[in-house]
């Protein structure tokens, strides 16, 4: 479920030590550090100042059930970071337990959305503006929207038509908003995130069927 074994920021590459000789080299390193610091401060300010409306959702019909603010980082995407991926998860838990875990500040992770198996009901836990800690990889967290789907990777009974169809409509809307191609390069499983060892959404997730549903839904929102 998200990043149970990690903490926010896990996967951040350490700053490379730079060895520069002469005054020109030292100046170059100083300029790089100044630009890097300014960039990080600018995005932090940008995200803080992005206008928000309490309870507002990005997907029509979603229910706003906010995650703990400890489990995501405020931002102003796509201004801060381009969004070009959707990451599909399975939490190894029921819908209500998944919500409770993501509301726990000690968990350190959440996705933007959770989809219920029985009827496809969708909860939004973090705004798409913000960086949810869901992928176990900083770069993917910053560039993607994460979606949990109620169930267990080894139990196909949770993969209902309602879940697939609701998730496909959700993803079609995300792709429309950010110009993301509807294909397997841009819609990925958590197990496909670099440097992450996961099995979700698991061997029973029907990718061909799912992508076909997303493409069909995308045609209706274009």
Instruction: Kindly report the backbone phi and psi dihedral angles of residue 200, in degrees, each rounded to the nearest multiple of 5, phi listed first.
Output: -70, 145
Cα-flanking dihedrals φ and ψ of residue 164, to 5°?
-60, -45
| CB burial of residue 88 (10 Å; 0-12, 13-18, 19+) | buried
Per-residue pLDDT of the chain (222 residues; tens, 9 = 90+): 644 434 344 443 332 332 233 333 334 434 434 444 444 454 455 555 678 898 999 999 999 999 999 999 999 999 999 999 999 999 999 999 999 999 999 999 999 999 999 999 999 999 999 999 999 999 999 999 999 999 999 999 999 999 999 999 999 999 999 999 999 999 999 999 998 888 899 999 999 999 999 999 998 654
DSSP state of 68: P
Residues 72, 130 contacting (CB under 8 angstroms)? yes
């Amino acid at each position: 479920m998200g990043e149970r074994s990690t903490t926010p920021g896990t996967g951040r590459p350490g700053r490379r030590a730079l060895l520069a000789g002469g005054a020109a080299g030292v100046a170059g390193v100083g300029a790089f550090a100044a630009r890097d610091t300014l960039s990080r401060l600018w995005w932090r300010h940008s995200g803080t100042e992005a206008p928000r409306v309490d309870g507002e959702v990005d997907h029509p019909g979603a229910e706003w059930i906010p995650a703990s603010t400890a489990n995501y980082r405020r931002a102003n995407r796509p201004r801060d970071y381009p969004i070009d991926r959707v990451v599909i998860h399975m939490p190894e838990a029921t819908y209500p337990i998944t919500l409770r875990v993501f509301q726990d500040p000690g968990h350190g992770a959440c996705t933007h959305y959770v989809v219920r198996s029985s009827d496809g009901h969708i909860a939004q836990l973090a705004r798409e503006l913000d960086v949810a800690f869901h992928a176990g990889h900083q770069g993917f967290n910053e560039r993607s929207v994460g979606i949990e789907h109620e169930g267990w990777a080894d139990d196909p009974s949770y993969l209902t038509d309602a879940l697939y169809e609701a998730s496909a409509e959700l993803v079609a809307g995300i792709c429309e908003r950010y110009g993301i191609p509807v294909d397997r390069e841009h819609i990925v499983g958590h197990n496909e995130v670099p440097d992450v060892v996961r099995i979700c959404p698991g061997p029973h997730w029907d990718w061909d069927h799912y992508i076909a549903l997303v493409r069909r839904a995308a045609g209706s929102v274009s």
